[in-house]
Structure 1
Amino acid sequence: MIGVILAAGMGTRLMPLTKDIPKALLEINGMTLLERMIRNCIGADISRFIVVVGYNRDRVIDLCPEIAEKYDIEIKTVVNEKYDVTNTSVSTYLASKEIEENPEDFILVNGDNVVDPKIIERLASTKHTGMIIDNFKQLNEESFKLIVKNKTLNDEKSIANGEIEAIGKQLDISSSSGEFIGVSKVISDDIADFNRILEEIIDDDCQNYYDFTYKELSKIKTIDFVLTNGLKWTEIDDHNDWENAQKLVGELEN
């Protein structure tokens, strides 16, 4: 299994913290977000990584060999040359298209996430392509929500299956099934379809998020919606998120 980490974004809402470095290299307790996420993936028996870089790429490219040596893993960097005019759909495609040449399951995570390591472990153990869905957090207008129809629960109510009816921030909160946290998995058998749909999304608008790929994929493939059931996480989009991330790391490390 491969870990794909998206670390190409500019992080403009975190300025001046990200003036000279991408978000993934921000440090909490002396460790970058990138290394912490890689360490979480290693805990789920992942030892090969693709890191997609863009903004201030050289800082990430220079650090990756140090992390690889420290943990005895493989890290390859892929450059999104158009990071400033595209979105996560393009960064994801650059990695997933390369993996399609020799198909293998991969975990896909946003480089600005801090998560309980158990979240990665749960996702890695699923049989199907899957998405981590927060079913506890109170939703708001910024939450990347989804609505799952024909939902069924199994595995002690920690995994749901069904078809994604809608996904995005604009959805009605009361109708939503939860929030997609930016951590997902694509199994090898689904990569070709995943990439085909991703291409269509990029052709429609290169500023699209890769998240929308799962809506169409759920119509033809089984998607596991792995529920957080209270496990904690946070994305880091702004300074409030940054403060929350520091608190969360303190909780997790204690």
Structure 2
Amino acid sequence: MIGVILVAGMGTRLMPLTKDIPKALLEINNTTLLERMIKNCINVDINKFIVIVGYNKNKVIELCPKIAEKYDIDIKTIVNEKYDVTNTCVSTYLASKFIEENEQEDFILVNGDNVVDSEIISKLAESKNTGMIIDNFKELNEESFKLIIANESLNDDKTIANGKIEDIGKELDIPSSSGEFIGVSKIVKDDIAEFNRILEELIEKDPQNYYDFAFKDLSHIKTIDFVLTNGLKWTEIDDHTDWKNAQILVDELENK
């Protein structure tokens, strides 16, 4: 299995912290967000990584060999040259297409601005199918990337079974939503070609699309496991409030 980490974005809402570095190189307790996520993936025996870079790419490209040597892992960097006029759909496609053409392995896909309880990655890695981590505890708001999952039922292992994504996006009605997609997912090798085909269509429609939307169409032709957080904590880091929350969360996770 491969770990794919997206770190190409500019992080404008975190200025001036991101004036000279991408969000993923921000440090909490002397560890970058990138290294912290890589460590989470190493815990589930992932030793190959693809990091998609863009904004201040050289800073990440210089750091990756040091992390690779420290943990005895392989890290490949791929550049999204159009990071400033595209979104995560393009960055994801660059990694997923490379894997389709060269590796043919399952991969875990994570946003580089996330801090998560390592158990979240472990739960996802255990999924036999393509899977998405869904927060079923956190109170939803207008910024939450919400899903409406139709025909859902709950398995004994706390995954949603037989679900199809009826709709996905930030604008969805909160009471109708099944939860929030946290930006952590897994694509099994047998689904990669279809996943890439859907990404291509999304990019053609709008290069600013989020990869998250690809799971809607994929859920209607492939089996997707919706793995619930059930209270396991995480945060994305979009703005300064998120940054403060992330520091608190890291302290909490390190003292579990």
Give the shorter-chain TM-score range: over 0.9
TM-fit CA distance, 1:10: 0.1
TM-fit CA distance, 1:160: 3.6
| Alignment map for 1:100-139 (pairs within 5 Å) | 100-101=100-101, 102-139=103-140
- Aligned pair count? 254
Given that 1:5 and 1:110 are in contact with CA atoms closer than 8 Å, whether structure 2 keeps it comes out as: yes
Cα deviation, 1:64-97, whole Å, max 9, x if unaligned, reads 0000000000000000000000000000000000
Given that 1:198 and 1:213 are in contact with CA atoms closer than 8 Å, whether structure 2 keeps it comes out as: yes
Per the normalisation by structure 2, the TM-score is 0.98
Secondary structure of 1:243's counterpart equals helix
Inter-partner Cα distance in structure 2 for 1:98 and 1:183 = 19
| Alignment map for 1:17-166 (pairs within 5 Å) | 17-101=17-101, 102-166=103-167
Cα deviation, 1:144-170, whole Å, max 9, x if unaligned, reads 000000002113434444100000000
> Residue type of the partner of 2:237?
I
> Residue type of the partner of 2:38?
I
**Structure 1 stretch displaced more, 105-114 or 94-103:** 94-103
Per the normalisation by structure 1, the TM-score is 0.99
Inter-partner Cα distance in structure 2 for 1:184 and 1:160 = 16
Change in 2 beyond 3 A, CA 1:133/1:23? same
Inter-partner Cα distance in structure 2 for 1:129 and 1:156 = 15
The residue aligned with 1:196 is 197
TM-fit CA distance, 1:207: 0.2
Inter-partner Cα distance in structure 2 for 1:210 and 1:107 = 13
Which 4+ stretches in 1 moved above 2 angstroms? 155-161
The residue aligned with 2:220 is 219
> Residue type of the partner of 2:167?
A
Given that 1:160 and 1:227 are in contact with CA atoms closer than 8 Å, whether structure 2 keeps it comes out as: no
Inter-partner Cα distance in structure 2 for 1:234 and 1:159 = 22
The residue aligned with 1:7 is 7
Secondary structure of 1:174's counterpart equals coil
> Residue type of the partner of 2:64?
C
Inter-partner Cα distance in structure 1 for 2:107 and 2:225 = 14
Given that 1:161 and 1:225 are in contact with CA atoms closer than 8 Å, whether structure 2 keeps it comes out as: no
Given that 1:160 and 1:226 are in contact with CA atoms closer than 8 Å, whether structure 2 keeps it comes out as: no
**Structure 1 stretch displaced more, 150-159 or 108-117:** 150-159
The residue aligned with 2:184 is 183
Aligned sequence identity (%) = 79
Inter-partner Cα distance in structure 2 for 1:69 and 1:161 = 42
> Residue type of the partner of 1:105?
D
| Alignment map for 1:226-245 (pairs within 5 Å) | 226-245=227-246
Give the root-mean-square deviation of aligned CA atoms: 0.7
Secondary structure of 1:155's counterpart equals coil
Unaligned runs of 5+ in 2: none
Inter-partner Cα distance in structure 2 for 1:41 and 1:10 = 24
